[in-house]
Chain A
């Protein structure tokens, strides 16, 4: 009895090993002659604009690279291909979407676009040992493993930079905050913002929370209205920000708004542009930047998709170039080689010149965007 049990255990172990070796014999990209980038982001749902933008930006970059012959690995030229799956920005859907990508075979992962979904798969990608670069997942833990990198700023860094702007540059002393307590992105930015404001000698007069799917903010706004706040910091995505700003306008509040990079795209999501006039948010990319590379990208993007690209499109575009740089530097498309090469590359992208630390964090400069006369303008 004992012996047969032992044998069956051995057989099971052997079978499992067989499965594993089956994985490793998957065709390498060199022999396929193409490099498949897996993409994950919301293409439907309330944050669909982010995922769609990233996908489009990445497509532009891939087309550019392929038109120039592909990327040069050793003495071979390899073409790129994008396989983008909808993760609905959901912690559940993203897992199955990622599995689909892995089953179909990808060489590197571009994604995910939103923080919550990203956190749901960072450990899975680590287990698979695949190079993962999130274009816009800004939660701190999105880069917790050594295969995880990010192109955008972290939530805490954004919060600190907005605090510096508010207190030092704009001279606000009393500041109100509305944040989404059920969202990592929002709370991460809020905590860093509040700490930095206090450190700089400012006052958080009121800090109001709401939860996922809330659409009514009048109670919180009434409280803020009756406080002595000089401005409102809203570290949320544009959907909530559009509700908050519209209801504030209706209440006759004239306080200026400050936001994070989730505000990008808000102009297309408000019914009354005057409700966000004067709002300032952080963005590493700015479509009317006179920089030549940016001009080229914007023209190409407009030609292809008939709209102006936002920061997410730029992030998607740059991420593809970062992957190309890593593969070319490594002289290989194996994830482990590319991961090792990540800290040695320097990419001059349209979101600024970027280098990566060992922790997976980018070093680059930020721009503030101000909404003036119903348009995005650069805040000096």
Chain B
């Protein structure tokens, strides 16, 4: 029983990181109707920015986190302006290829700057683990869960209550109509990319605190898993991305723990296939009839 509880916590921790990243995928898809495959690499940029600001510029941990969030947000806006905006009316395949290209560009730039060797980075979260009976809850797990819950809560509030939030919802419903109603589409899309990238930066910081290693390709695998989570929850749907991420983490952890650690990934992706067969729009997605 204790075992199960601890495994659930393991799953929740990695799941909440997936969820943070999945939010970026889903928000961008909801508004710009594109899969931003470079999103996973924003995590890497966030983690390296943290490293550079702490190790080279000797900023405090809090300042370094703020810097990496800002850097990623700006990077997100720039990527959209430079690579995606000119293609807004192009076929979706062209945008997809551009996004993949952007992902490789980011990876290779960091390979060029930081070299391929892994860099060890000591976690900025130095909170002692809590022991309850035989259960151990690590400091990183607690911080990850708290940060994720706060971030999601703020995001939900932002989308529901603010003017920009309702502009986002309006654009995701119907871009043309929204622009006719006087909503600044370009600005709203920029804000969406900024928020998504800022969340990815936070995920990157949490990720590097957990695993304490920096690699130019570190964003690839969590990026793919988060994309799966977004699709699982119903891409374009914000609560769906949260649910999908957490579910994915838990399924991964439990299948490693109780079925077989060798086939955990196969199970995770197998579940995705089954969900999509039964409900193609994802768990919380609403299937819409395409207007022609």
- A288 in the interface (beta carbon within 8 A): no
Contact of A223 among B120, B212, B257 (CB under 8 A): B257
Contact between B121 and A46, CB atoms less than 8 A apart: no
Contact between A269 and B257, CB atoms less than 8 A apart: no
Within 8 A of B (CB), among A175-202: 181
Contact (A222, B129) CB under 8 Å given A44-B116, A45-B116:
no
Contact between B262 and A218, CB atoms less than 8 A apart: no
- B136 in the interface (beta carbon within 8 A): yes
Contact with B along A140-182 (1 / 0, CB 8 A): 0000000000000000000000000000000000000000010
Within 8 A of B (CB), among A194-229: 208-211, 213, 215-216, 218-220, 222-223, 225-226
Segment at the A interface, from B6-14, B37-45, B80-88, B227-235: B6-14
Contact of A219 among B116, B122, B213, B257 (CB under 8 A): B257
Contact between B136 and A252, CB atoms less than 8 A apart: yes
Chain B residue contacts of A269, Cβ below 8 A: 118, 120
Within 8 A of B (CB), among A251-274: 251-252, 269-272
Contact between B138 and A222, CB atoms less than 8 A apart: no
Contact between B121 and A271, CB atoms less than 8 A apart: yes
Cα separation A252 to B134 with both chains bound (whole Å): 10
Contact between B136 and A48, CB atoms less than 8 A apart: no
Contact between B253 and A251, CB atoms less than 8 A apart: no
Cα separation A239 to B139 with both chains bound (whole Å): 23
Contact of B261 among A49, A209, A246 (CB under 8 A): A209
Interface range on chain B (Cβ under 8 Å from partner): 35 or more
Within 8 A of A (CB), among B92-151: 115-118, 120-123, 129, 131, 134, 136, 138-140
Report the minimum CB–CB distance from A191 to chain B (whole Å).
Answer: 14
Contact between A271 and B123, CB atoms less than 8 A apart: yes
Contact between B129 and A251, CB atoms less than 8 A apart: yes
Interface of A is mostly: mixed
- A250 in the interface (beta carbon within 8 A): yes
- B287 in the interface (beta carbon within 8 A): no
Contact (A222, B3) CB under 8 Å given A251-B129, A251-B138:
yes
Cα separation A211 to B14 with both chains bound (whole Å): 17
Contact between A226 and B262, CB atoms less than 8 A apart: no
- Of all chain B residues, the one with the shortest Cβ separation from A269 is B120
Q: Number of A interface residues, CB 8 Å?
A: 31
Contact between A48 and B116, CB atoms less than 8 A apart: yes
Report the minimum CB–CB distance from B248 to chain A (whole Å).
Answer: 13
Within 8 A of A (CB), among B160-207: none
Chain B residue contacts of A213, Cβ below 8 A: 221
Chain B residue contacts of A220, Cβ below 8 A: 256, 261
Cα separation A208 to B258 with both chains bound (whole Å): 11
Cα separation A216 to B13 with both chains bound (whole Å): 11
Cα separation A226 to B134 with both chains bound (whole Å): 8
Report the minimum CB–CB distance from A252 to chain B (whole Å).
Answer: 5
Contact between A222 and B10, CB atoms less than 8 A apart: yes
- A242 in the interface (beta carbon within 8 A): yes
- Of all chain A residues, the one with the shortest Cβ separation from B256 is A219
- B265 in the interface (beta carbon within 8 A): yes
Report the minimum CB–CB distance from B205 to chain A (whole Å).
Answer: 15
Report the minimum CB–CB distance from B40 to chain A (whole Å).
Answer: 13
Report the minimum CB–CB distance from A71 to chain B (whole Å).
Answer: 34
Chain A residue contacts of B117, Cβ below 8 A: 44-46, 48-49
Contact of B211 among A210, A216, A225 (CB under 8 A): A216
Cα separation A318 to B20 with both chains bound (whole Å): 51
Contact between A209 and B212, CB atoms less than 8 A apart: no
Chain B residue contacts of A216, Cβ below 8 A: 10, 14, 210-211
- Of all chain B residues, the one with the shortest Cβ separation from A208 is B261
Cα separation A239 to B140 with both chains bound (whole Å): 20
- B2 in the interface (beta carbon within 8 A): yes
**What are 30 A-B pairs with beta-carbon distances under 8 A?**
A45-B116, A45-B117, A46-B117, A48-B117, A49-B117, A208-B261, A209-B261, A209-B262, A215-B211, A215-B213, A216-B14, A218-B10, A218-B253, A219-B261, A220-B256, A220-B261, A223-B3, A226-B3, A226-B134, A242-B120, A246-B212, A250-B139, A250-B140, A251-B129, A252-B129, A252-B131, A252-B136, A271-B120, A271-B212, A272-B122
